[in-house]
Amino acid sequence: MLFSAIPGQERIKGRLLDVLNQGRIPHAILLYGPEGNGGLAMALAMASYLLCENRSAGDACGECDSCSKTRHLVHPDLHFSFPVINRDGAKTSDVFVSEWRKALLKNPFLDYSEWMDAIKGKDDQNKQGNITAEECRDIIKKLSLKSYEGGKKFMILWLPEFLGQSGNILLKVLEEPPQDTHFILVAQDLNQVLPTILSRTQLFNVPAFTAGTLQTYLETQLKARAKEAASISYLSRGNINVARLQIEELENDTTETIRTWLQYCYARNIAGMNTWVNETASLGREKIKQLLESCIYILGECLHCKHINNYVPRVPEANVTFVVNFSKVLDDKKIELMYKTINETIYHIDRNANAKLSLLNLSLELRTIMHIKMVSI
């Protein structure tokens, strides 16, 4: 992975390159930021840069033997640790290395839900990802060995939020790693990372992608039409995976699906709500999250429509009338409650809650919120 392959993010790229080019590389760097920010891709670019045999001041060469190995995720001095499920008693990353390479080569902006979908069978749906004590001891063992190619060694530890108290096993090696050994941790929620881990790392914030960056990415890399790219870049709220999925599913009008659902909720149409829930629950977590994220964006558009003079819509033309009409039946408090309720559902679905029950409960709650009689005080 090259820095140049990551769209935008020039400021954080510059900061990281400044640190890497100083020659005194921190023994443990933690990249953090919201889901879909490209943090994992940034970690890969950092490791590729430092392992490259012919790097420039701004990027790896992408052509040397080392770059070829890192590009295919087979460099012997580049190690990975990531959340896994219990598979026949095995709980370490090594058991899933084949799936990991396949998933990461397919999408270097991989997120947790997509990864879980890649490794779970039909009997694993209730299993949670975890980085176990066994995995922590395996990390220490790997890093105690000498470099295969005589240079630096790297451990990319993805989502340290899943370490739990087992993470304390790593404290000594994080603080005093073997010579020429470096950790690059990639987190989404610092509040879920052990304080003892945080205190032993140098933090770098990788922000969400800007709408402009995503629009350019969608047009140049995914060949989206300008109008569609502009709309989706706003709908995705800086998450490159949401943007990618929306482009891939463009033939299925996401906003039309949301519009139908909200109309069922407003009309108190239980049969329609139930049909929608059954159909949507079968889509998989990533697509469900995409739908709900898009719904949140539409609520934001309703607020803009209510309060901004000369409102300029940022939704496809076919949905402008719906946004305008829907904004008339919601006041600010109802929009706030709906926003909060949908976000809570996304949180639970992301953590493996039953999709059908979650969506049904959400539909019933939205139905209630839409018909609350707000009392002015």
Buried b (16+ CB within 10 A) or exposed e, 176-190: ebeeebbbbbbbbeb
pTM for this entry:
0.76
Select from 144, 174, 205 the last residue of a domain: 205
If pLDDT is split at 50, 70 and 90, which confidence band does 377 have? very low
Question: In total, how many domains does the chain have?
Answer: 2
If pLDDT is split at 50, 70 and 90, which confidence band does 375 have? very low
Q: Lowest mean pLDDT: which of 73-77, 203-207, 223-227, 358-362?
A: 223-227
> Which residues span the domain enclosing 154?
3-205
Same domain, 107 and 21: yes
Residue 39 has pLDDT above 80, yes or no: yes
d(CA 289, CA 347): 9
CATH code of the domain in which 130 resides: 3.40.50.300
pLDDT tens for each residue of 260-307? 999 999 999 999 999 999 999 988 787 888 789 888 888 888 888 888
Task: Map tokens 């953590």 to a residue.
Answer: 351
pLDDT of residue 240: 93
Which residues, other chains included, contact 11 with Cβ-Cβ below 8 Å and sequence gap of 6+?
none
Residue 161 lies in a domain: yes
Residue 217 lies in a domain: no
What residues are paired with 84 via a beta bridge? 130
CATH code of the domain in which 302 resides: 1.20.272.10
The CA–CA distances, whole Å, from 87 to 65, 82, 167, 205 equal 34, 14, 21, 34
How far out from the chain centre does Cα 333 lie? 29
The CA–CA distances, whole Å, from 55 to 42, 71, 179, 239 equal 16, 14, 22, 29
Residue 112 lies in a domain: yes
Residue 249 has pLDDT above 70, yes or no: no
Select from 175, 205, 235 the last residue of a domain: 205
